[in-house]
Amino acid sequence: MLSAKLLGNPYTFLHIINPEFHKEDKTKPNSIGRFLKVRQKFVEFFENDIFMQEESEAFYVYKQSTPFHQFLGFIGGADLTEYENGKIKKHEETLTAREKTFTQYLDIVKFNAEPVLLFHKDNSDIEKLLIKLSSKRPEYEYTTTDEVKHELWVVKKPAQVEKVKEVFGTLNETYIADGHHRCASSYRYYKDIGGQSTANQHALAYFISESRLNIMDFNRVVSDLNGHSIESFIEAIKKNFKVTKSRKKSPSPTKAGEISMYLDQSWYLLNPNEENIDHNHPVESLDTRLLTRFLLEPILDIHDLKTDERISFISGDRGIKGLKKAVDKGSAMVAFGLFPVSPKQLIDVADANLIMPPKSTWIEPKLRSGLTIYPLD
């Protein structure tokens, strides 16, 4: 698939992030040699006028339309001093090694082409401005082979640019939806390498309101029952959950506090015992945490969701059928379907300076690399 795209389109950004296509002198992934080749290919595209660069300060309004959802927001630079002072809030931990690798990448390639996805609380002024700026025909419009339509409006009139700055200046905080490592690495680059210039003080970001965000479930499948028989496994679950056999055609959870389980060609509904739920704690009240604390850890002996090879994760875009398929084909013994985390729950966790359990959310939109590029030099 990748080869076909590279062969069929000499102008695709994929050539930049895959600079060794059909070349014999291969370098190791995430190596300095590979990053230097990415930079070389980027410069080649730039010098051949494949890129179009705005001549003045600009923002973009970007709309992404899928068969199921439509996303509309602004693309611009997120001020990294706001990450430093806690106004850009996070809900995930980052790995220092990954931060260092991406910081080195930025230092060598000198561009940022994959926006961090930031969301903010609904704001009527921002919404009105978005609708106004996107009311005319977009400057750029195309549809990709995955049936996703992309539309881009250039906001470069000085009065419009200042208006965007004005309405965003009223926000007290924004929240990282996707791209925690990219944001942390951009901040590290700004502080340690970038010389604290105006350009390096910002990270490429897509800003979207909480009501336009699409947060999907991130579900779990486990390869074995940790020595339990099916009967003893269900009995063990009953100590902390109400277990009901489901006859629904679509057994997905319908609300927070419900967990679907697929086991031995049958669907079950699990409801955590009320006394186990701390409704005042942003993390301990999450279904993902309740499942881990009262089932995965004590019954299946799974204590680290990041490293235990017995557990895998299936994103909500694959639906409940993806869970059933994993068990029916024998790659897992049991599957758990979760109700999606809400934007408010993400906000509550971030506002409390806490961390979401691993693999709690599958968030859309997914942004394409190279649609917009933010040069760091």
- pLDDT surpasses 80 at 376: yes
> Under 8 Å CB-to-CB from 149, ≥6 apart: which residues?
63, 64, 65, 66, 141, 142, 143
* pLDDT one-digit tens code per residue, 167-216: 999 999 999 999 999 999 999 999 988 666 777 899 999 999 999 999 99
* pLDDT one-digit tens code per residue, 18-38: 988 877 778 998 999 999 999
What percent of the chain clears pLDDT 90, i.e. is strictly above it? 86
Residue range 277-281: average pLDDT? 95
Distance CA 327, CA 319 (A): 14
Q: Three-class SS of residue 373?
A: coil
* pLDDT one-digit tens code per residue, 108-165: 999 999 999 999 999 999 999 999 999 999 999 999 888 999 999 999 999 999 999 9
| Torsion sign (Cα): 356, 359, 364, 368 | positive
State both tokens at 94: 């980052």
For residue 365, is the peptide bond before it cis, meaning its omega torsion is within 30 degrees of 0? yes
Q: Is 183 exposed, middle or buried (0-12, 13-18, 19+ CB in 10 A)?
A: buried
* pLDDT one-digit tens code per residue, 309-321: 999 999 988 888 9
* pLDDT one-digit tens code per residue, 67-97: 999 999 999 999 999 999 999 999 998 989 9
Q: Which domains does the chain have, with CATH numbers?
A: 2-47 (no CATH), 59-214+363-375 (3.90.1530.10), 218-339 (3.30.1760)
pLDDT at 276: 94
pLDDT at 95: 86
- pLDDT surpasses 70 at 60: yes
Q: What is the DSSP string of 287-343?
A: HHHHHIIIIITTTT----TTT-TTEEEEEGGGHHHHHHHHHHTTS-SEEEEEPPPPH
Q: What mean pLDDT value characterizes the chain?
A: 94
Distance CA 243, CA 92 (A): 31
> Under 8 Å CB-to-CB from 275, ≥6 apart: which residues?
none
Q: Three-class SS of residue 61?
A: strand
- pLDDT surpasses 90 at 247: no
User: CA neighbours within 13 Å on the CB side: how many for 272?
Assistant: 24
> Which element (helix H / strand E) includes 270?
strand 266-272
pLDDT at 2: 80
Residue range 281-301: average pLDDT? 97
- pLDDT surpasses 80 at 232: yes
pLDDT at 196: 65
CB 256, CB 287: distance < 8 Å: yes
Residue range 355-373: average pLDDT? 93
Distance CA 293, CA 305 (A): 11
